[in-house]
A and B are shown apart, each in its own frame.
Chain A
Amino acid sequence: MRPLPAGWAKALRLALLFGALLGLYALAVARHEERAQIREQAVVLTPSCADKLDRYGLAAGPDYVSTYMLARGWHPDPRRGYSEQDVRAIQRGCNIIDDLQGQLATDPGRERWNSTRFVRGTHTSCDHCHQGIGDKQTAAGVPQTGSLSLGASWVMADMYDQFTGILLPFELRQMQCYINSSNGYKPNVADDLIRDVTAYSRFLAAALDLRFGNRYAEQGIDEVTASSTLKRGDDYVRGAALFKEKCARCHGPQGLGTVVEGKVVYPALAGPNSFNHQSRNNFSFVSTILPGFICRNMPLGEEGTLSNQDCRDIGFYVSNLPRPAGDKEGPLAALWNQLMMRVMPPMIHAVETWRHADTSGESGA
């Protein structure tokens, strides 16, 4: 075969380069178009979202009046209404909070903006921490104290955050959730995934008639500090016993969660699918938040039955189970934690099985 003349080879290389760039451009345009189509298509709501948004009277129109407030006997001034596009953004935001991994969606990639790109595990969903789709209420229909309400969080956004040392906007706080609580990666601030959740949170603030800059009881967690206990110290062994008794039936003996037919029924508290070391849920990072969450929300159906000391002990134990390293811990810590997450569960399982067999043998004898 005759070699190509020198000029031709150069032209071919240039053509290949331009072709590749053109291909990338065409791909970007196609993705952009796809996103624009998704924004226009009707949203299939999860059952919980359908119920909540219906109760709050979300509909397109020139004015918005909260049916929730009307039902409670208040008559707030009509607010600026929502367009069809705004309504769809709010609906998508609600779906994302309720079902981040798209387990209830027929086409998870399109319906949840490919949210799994930003999450490493397969368990986490916003609703695990922000219960009641970010708006947990008591049986009387009142927002519950310390329930991580997204609406209350929105009206208090932009404040100084002691953990990051900056004035933390709502969007950046969401990014932190993806990085740490979901042990993943941060979406861009202008990503639809972030913007739709902001739209939903703003709608909650409108529906509940929350005012900018006011502190509401449902914002954040009602933290359980050491000073709210008898100050005996946080007890790992007692925490392990309590975990076995109160938590293991749902979250599994090692906190690895429960998955039935590919659907997460109870999320992992340890292992690769759980929050990481830099999450505020991690007791060793912030010692008051996880106990507060446990006391307020756990065990399911028996909320409020645990004492402050119980919650701190369980939180201490849970945070010592193997979990992914935080984003600021460096590669060696990450490697060590990966090793622990792989080695510890089968080892503990083997020891537990052996001990169980041993105990059965003794009692049999």
Chain B
Amino acid sequence: MDRAPDAALAKVRERRRAARRARLVVVLRGTLGAAAVIGFAVWAHLGSGQPVFSPHGKPEAGWEAFHAAYDVDTFGRDGYFVRAIQSGYNLIHHTYRYAWRFTRKGALDRPNACIDCHSETDLAYAFASGDRYDAALGRRISFEEHVMRCYATHLDGFVPTIYDPAVRDIRIFARMVAHHLQLGEGAREAPQ
């Protein structure tokens, strides 16, 4: 007579255990998933060292010296602008690595970076004289369009859009150098 209630009780207990196990699995799965996402984010930002995961540009050789020589911190007064300048510096000096999508040039090719043809000062003067008529092309050309054309021709690659950081950061870099040299609109380089 007592067996029936015991069996029913055992079934209830078994059902509860099964429900607890199922709940635990769900919680564990969720926790593990969240931990994996958080772990990846922490690793990406702090431990990976990959520039693609960091808002701060990778300090390439020469950046610190350039940074000090051109008073980069005094211009713009915000982290965004300085980061864009650093990105511009990296693009100009190591174009084949930082704008690899827009050039076919590799580490062993020459030229493989903007700096192989243009100095920082050249870029600043070009920026100051941008948006002018180009007789060879028969129309007015902006500084950005010149950069886009360089990617497609001298760097044997592809044309980025005008909004791409590969164009924008070079313009911002040139603007910073123009500020450092205190250039005005249409300034001309003094004859050497």
B-contacting residues of A (Cβ < 8 Å)? 64, 76-86, 89, 154-155, 157-160, 167, 169, 189-190, 195, 198-199, 202-203, 205-206, 209-214
Contact = CB atoms under 8 A, between A and B. Distances in A.
Contact of B175 (A78, A206, A212): A212
Nearest to B172: A158
B178 interface: yes
Contacts of B80: 160, 167
A234 to B, nearest CB: 29
B178 A80 contact: no
Contact of A64 (B84, B133, B186): B186
Q: Taking each of A189, A203, A209, A213, which has the highest tally of chain B beta carbons within 10 Å of its own beta carbon? A: A213
Interface stretch (B5-13, B16-24, B48-56, B124-132): B124-132
Given A80-B188, A81-B186, A160-B80, 5 more contacts: A77-B187, A86-B133, A160-B76, A211-B179, A212-B128
A195 B175 contact: no
Contacts of A80: 129, 132, 186-188
Contacts of B33: none
Contact of B131 (A76, A79, A202): A202
A333 to B, nearest CB: 29
Given A160-B78, A167-B80, A213 B179 contact: yes
Contacts of B162: 189-190
Nearest first, the 4 closest Cβ-Cβ pairs linking A and B are: A213-B179, A79-B186, A206-B185, A83-B133
B168 interface: yes
A195 B132 CA distance: 11
Nearest to A165: B80
B192 interface: no
Contacts, number: 90
Nearest to A79: B186
A211 B131 contact: no
A360 B73 CA distance: 68
A175 to B, nearest CB: 12
B110 to A, nearest CB: 31
Interface string B171-185: 110011011001111
Most buried by B among A78, A85, A209: A85
A159 B131 contact: no
B175 A158 contact: yes
Contacts of B78: 159-160
A79 B128 CA distance: 10
18 contacts: A64-B186, A77-B187, A78-B188, A79-B186, A80-B129, A81-B186, A84-B133, A85-B140, A158-B175, A167-B80, A167-B84, A169-B171, A199-B131, A202-B185, A205-B185, A210-B184, A212-B128, A212-B184
A214 B77 CA distance: 12
B137 to A, nearest CB: 11
Given A160-B76, A169-B168, A198-B131, A209 B184 contact: yes
Given A83-B132, A160-B81, A213-B179, A167 B187 contact: no
Contact of A213 (B75, B133, B139, B140): B75
A155 B81 CA distance: 15
Nearest to B125: A80
B184 A159 contact: no
Contacts of A195: 131, 140, 142
A167 B168 contact: yes
A211 B175 contact: no
Contacts of A82: 132
Nearest to A213: B179
A155 B176 CA distance: 11
Nearest to A190: B162
Interface in B153-178: 162-163, 168, 171-172, 175-176, 178
Nearest to B135: A83
A213 B175 contact: yes
B84 to A, nearest CB: 6
A199 B143 CA distance: 12
